[in-house]
Each structure stands twice: as structure tokens, then as C-alpha cells.
């Protein structure tokens, strides 16, 4: 039995008086492709943001790849992690955002090479070689010298994926990566992700409203509502035979809204 690569243990998170996650526990196995679905405000994006350390937790513990994420050991006791520890832990995790967040003042190539050069001391020539391999994989090798403002949304998002991959994280987080795209551009991004899922054994967590894609992509689907996992299981079970009333209601609403399942 292999150990989980992510172990979330009884975490809580609130923003002011609003409790978003209340005693959530879940595990993710190495190489697993996980889809997190649920209504907006259900806490699924918050989980990704917490794993990326963009948000801190108010209680509980998270273990990533054998190390504590928000805690570190000091004289035999667990104490809150300092910036240095967080920096080490972030190395294991990459994230792709809904709004791409490319660095607009840098060309596509520099967007991809910046972090490896700064955080891992990779020489420019090597970083660029690797970046070109990744840009080729996402189908944008010919755009290496373009500025982000010259790209379509779908192209920007593919660059963002290459940028995250350039640090070769063990875990990739995809936060509604197609939600900000025009419908005709969604497929090119999903294709890249399919390829990624097939060709690598990276652990991937996906928050999405694309139910059809979640069905094909994921090994396991988690349905969230109000900060709790209401139901989880294989994609076929969740999408074809949801057991919980709330899951059924959510899927009905999604289908009525015209999303593909």
C-alpha cells in the first residue's frame, strides 16, 4: 500500500465570520487525477488555494509528500511554518489559475523560464531548452517570443500550464482553468490537460464546471457542498448513479444550464 501524497486532516478555514471549510479530511494518492465539483462557494477552490499556500488554514494539518505543509518540526514539537519552510514545500506544487495570471511584461518564453532560473538556479540556456519542449507540448512553440497580450485566452492558459510544468511539480492544481475562456477555446486547453494526464504520472487536482471533462479525466470525483464532501466515487458512479439528493440536484441544475455531461 503506497502512502497518500496529500493528507488533509480535519482542516478549518474561515474568511472573517464565514466558515468555508469545517473539519475537512481527505487523502490523495500519488498519480491520482481528482476532480472537485460542486456549487460555487462550496469550498473547492479554497482547497486548491490552501494547498498552494495562497491561503492559510485556521485549524487542522496538511501533509504533502511526507512533509507538513503549514507546520514544521522544531525541538520535537510542531510549530507554524516559516516562509522558508513554505518555500520548500511550494516546490512540490504547481497551480494554473482561472485568469491565467501570466506576467504581462514578459514574453511567453520568459514567463516559462523565469521561475526555474530564479528558484532553481537553472542556467538560461537549459531553462530555455526545457521551456521550448514544454511550449511545444502545449502547441505554442511558435509563440515563444510573443507577449501575453498578443495571445488568445486559450493560448494564454496553455502558456500558464507550461509555466507551471517548468518547475516539474509533483502535484498540479487546476482552478477552473477554462471558466474564463470563450467556449470555442475551451477544447484546446482541455486537450493539453488530457495529454498531460496520459503522459505523466503527476498528481492532479482539478476544480471544474466541465462535467464531461471531469468524467473522462478523473480517477475519482468529489462532490462538495458547503465545505464538506457530500459524495465521492468513480466518475461513472457519481455522474450516472449519484446517491445523494444534493449531488442529484446539482447535476440536474448543471445539465439544465447546458453544460455537457
Among 29, 107, 167, 254, binds other proteins (CB under 8 A): 167
> What CA–CA distance (Å, rounded) separates 178 from 20?
23
Q: Is 91 in the site for other proteins (CB under 8 A)?
A: yes
Under the binding rule (CB under 8 A), the answer on residue 124 touching other proteins is: no
Indicate whether 149 belongs to the interface with other proteins (CB under 8 A).
yes
Instruction: Give whichever of 16 and 76 is closer to other proteins, judged by the CB atom.
Output: 16
- Decide if residue 174 touches other proteins (CB under 8 A): no
| For other proteins, the closer CB: 167 or 229 | 167
Does residue 108 contact residue 149 with C-beta atoms inside 8 Å?
no
Q: Count CA atoms within 13 Å of residue 251 on its CB side.
A: 23
Nearer to other proteins, 166 or 221 (CB): 166
| Among the residue ranges 110-118, 121-129, 200-208, 226-234, the one whose residues contact other proteins (CB under 8 A) | 110-118
| Among 104, 195, 252, 255, interactor with other proteins by CB under 8 A | 104
Residue (of 135, 147, 154, 144) closest to 105 by Cα position: 147
| Using rule CB under 8 A, residue 53 touches other proteins | yes
The answer to whether residue 15 forms part of the interface with other proteins (CB under 8 A) is no
Q: Of the candidates 32, 34, 97, 140, which one interacts with other proteins according to CB under 8 A?
A: 97
Residues 222-251 binding other proteins (CB under 8 A) are none
CB 234: neighbour CB atoms within 10 A? 13
Enumerate residues 6+ apart whose C-beta is below 8 A from 241: none
Output 66 or 104, the one with its CB closest to other proteins. Answer: 104
Give whole-number Cα distances, 250 to 44, 218, 233, in Å. 15, 18, 16
> Binding of other proteins at residue 105 (CB under 8 A)?
yes
Q: Return the closest-CA partner of residue 31 out of 208, 214, 223, 200.
A: 200
| Residue 63 neighbours by CB under 8 Å, 6+ apart | 4, 6, 7, 9, 69
Neighbours of 164 (CB within 10 A): 21
End-to-end CA distance of the chain: 33
By the rule CB under 8 A, 4 interacts with other proteins: no
Q: Which residues pair with 27 in a beta bridge?
A: 7
Residue selected from 25, 119, 179, 240 as contacting other proteins according to rule CB under 8 A: 119
Binding site for other proteins (CB under 8 A): 52-54, 83, 87, 90-91, 93-95, 97, 99-105, 114-115, 118-119, 147-149, 163-164, 167
Amino acid at each position: 500500500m503506497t502512502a497518500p501524497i496529500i493528507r488533509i486532516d480535519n482542516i478549518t478555514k474561515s474568511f472573517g465570520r464565514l466558515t468555508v471549510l469545517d473539519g475537512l479530511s481527505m487523502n490523495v494518492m500519488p498519480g491520482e487525477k481528482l476532480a472537485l465539483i460542486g456549487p460555487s462557494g462550496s469550498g473547492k477552490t479554497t482547497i486548491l488555494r490552501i494547498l498552494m499556500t495562497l491561503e492559510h488554514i485556521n485549524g487542522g494539518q496538511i501533509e504533502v509528500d511526507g512533509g507538513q505543509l503549514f507546520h514544521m518540526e522544531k525541538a520535537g514539537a510542531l510549530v507554524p511554518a516559516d516562509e522558508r519552510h513554505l518555500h520548500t514545500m511550494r516546490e512540490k506544487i504547481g497551480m494554473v489559475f482561472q485568469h491565467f495570471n501570466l506576467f504581462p511584461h514578459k514574453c511567453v518564453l520568459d514567463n516559462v523560464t523565469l521561475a526555474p532560473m530564479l528558484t532553481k538556479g537553472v542556467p538560461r540556456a537549459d531553462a530555455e531548452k526545457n521551456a521550448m519542449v514544454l511550449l511545444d507540448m502545449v502547441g505554442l512553440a511558435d509563440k515563444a517570443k510573443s507577449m501575453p497580450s498578443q495571445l488568445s485566452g486559450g493560448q494564454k492558459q496553455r502558456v500558464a500550464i507550461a509555466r507551471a510544468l517548468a518547475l516539474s511539480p509533483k502535484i498540479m492544481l487546476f482552478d477552473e482553468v477554462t471558466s474564463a475562456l470563450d467556449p470555442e477555446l475551451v477544447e484546446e486547453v482541455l486537450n493539453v490537460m488530457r495529454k498531460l494526464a496520459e503522459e505523466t504520472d503527476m498528481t492532479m487536482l482539478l476544480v471544474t464546471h466541465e462535467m464531461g471533462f471531469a468524467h473522462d479525466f478523473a480517477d475519482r470525483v468529489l462532490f462538495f457542498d458547503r465545505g464538506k464532501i457530500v459524495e465521492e466515487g468513480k466518475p461513472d458512479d457519481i455522474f450516472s448513479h449519484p446517491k445523494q439528493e444534493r449531488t442529484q440536484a446539482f447535476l440536474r441544475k448543471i445539465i439544465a444550464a447546458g453544460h455537457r455531461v
